[in-house]
Structure 1
Amino acid sequence: MNKVFLLLGANLGNPATQLAKALEKIESVVGKIEACSSLYESEAWGVTDQPIFLNQVALVSTSLSPLDVLDNVQAIEDNLGRVRISKWGARVIDIDILYFNYDCIQHERLIVPHPYLPDRRFVLVPLSEIAPSFTHPTLGITTVDLLAKCEDHLGVHLYNPDDNNAI
C-alpha cells in the first residue's frame, strides 16, 4: 500500500463541513484514512486579502498511483464546488498531495514532495501533529525540524468552533 499525505483547506462557505465531506469522499475513492490532524485556522498565504482558512492534513493508505490520486482529489474538489479562478485565492475546497511514500515526482501535472511544503506553517503545523518524524525525501529533515526552520510567521492556531471569532 502507498502512503499519501494530503493537505485539505477551505475558506469559503462552511469550511469545517467541507473538510469533513472531503474526508468522506477521500475515504470512499482514494483509500483508508490512517491519521488525520486537528483542524487549524490559518492566515492566508500568498494572496493575503481573503478570509481565514481551515486546514487539515490526512495520511491515506491507497493502492492508487500518484496521478490517479491527483485525478481523484481533483474530482472531489470539483464535486464539492471548487472553481479554479486564481492561484492561492479563496476556495470552497483545496486538496494538495504533500508526500507520496518517499517518492520524488516531477511530472507536468504533479510535483512531489509539494514544492512549497517547507515554506508554509499552515502545512507544517498539522503535518507535525500526525507525522512529526517523517523525513522529507529530498531535504533529509523531519517535519518538526522543517517547522523549526520555517520562516513563515503567519498565524496557525487550533480551530475552536465555539470561539466567537472562529470561522
Structure 2
Amino acid sequence: MSYNDVVLLLGSNINNPCKNIEIALEKIENNIGLILIKSDLILTKPVEFDSINNFCNIAIKLKTHFSPIRLLSELKNIEIEMGRLKDSSYFDTYQDRIIDIDIILYNNIKFISKGLIVPHHKNLYEREFAKEIIRFVK
C-alpha cells in the first residue's frame, strides 16, 4: 500500500477552540494517518468575515493511504462528528466554526474536482497567518 504526504490546516474559533484542535488531531491520527509534524498553535483574528471570536490554528503534515476525495470525505466526517454540520459553501460566506480542516497540499500533485482543489491557493498564497504556519510543516 502506498502512502501520501499531506499538509492540513485546522482552525476553530468557538466552544474552546484550542481544545477543539486537540480533539480533531486525535481523530485525524486515529482515523486517517500518522501525524509527522505539527506547527505551533497560533491565535489569529478572523479573515474575510467579522467576528469577536479569534481562531486557534495549526498546520500538520501526515501520511495517509487515502485518495484526495476519500481524505476529504473523512475530514468532513470529523467536522460533522464535532458539530460542524454545514461548511462555508452552504452559507456562501465564512462564519464562526467549531472546526475547519482544509487540505493544503497532497504529495506534489494538482488535483481539481467539484468539491476539492489542491493545492489550496488561498491558504498557500493569500492568507499571511496560514503561509507562516504551513511553512513549518512543508
The answer to whether the superposition gives a TM-score over 0.5 is: yes
Q: Distance in 1 between matches of 2:40 and 2:17?
A: 13
Q: How big is the shift at 1:88?
A: 1.8
Verify: 1:68 aligned to 2:70, yes or no: yes
4+ aligned runs moved over 4 Å, structure 1: none
Verify: 1:96 aligned to 2:102, yes or no: yes
Q: Distance in 2 between matches of 1:111 and 1:70?
A: 11
Q: How big is the shift at 1:48?
A: 2.5
Partner residue, 1:120: 127
Bigger relative contact order (CA 8 A; separation at least 6): 2
List gaps (5 residues or longer) in structure 1: 132-167
Q: TM-score, normalized by length of structure 2?
A: 0.90
Contact map agreement 1:31 1:61 (CA 8 A) in 2: yes
Q: How big is the shift at 1:124?
A: 1.0
Q: TM-score, normalized by length of structure 1?
A: 0.75
> Identity rate of aligned residues, in percent?
33
Larger Rg: 1
Q: How big is the shift at 1:23?
A: 0.4
Q: Distance in 2 between matches of 1:31 and 1:12?
A: 26
What is the total number of aligned residue pairs between the two structures? 131
RMSD value over aligned CA atoms? 1.2
Partner residue, 2:116: 110
**Alignment match of 2:35 (pick from 33, 40, 44):** 33
Q: Distance in 2 between matches of 1:110 and 1:50?
A: 29
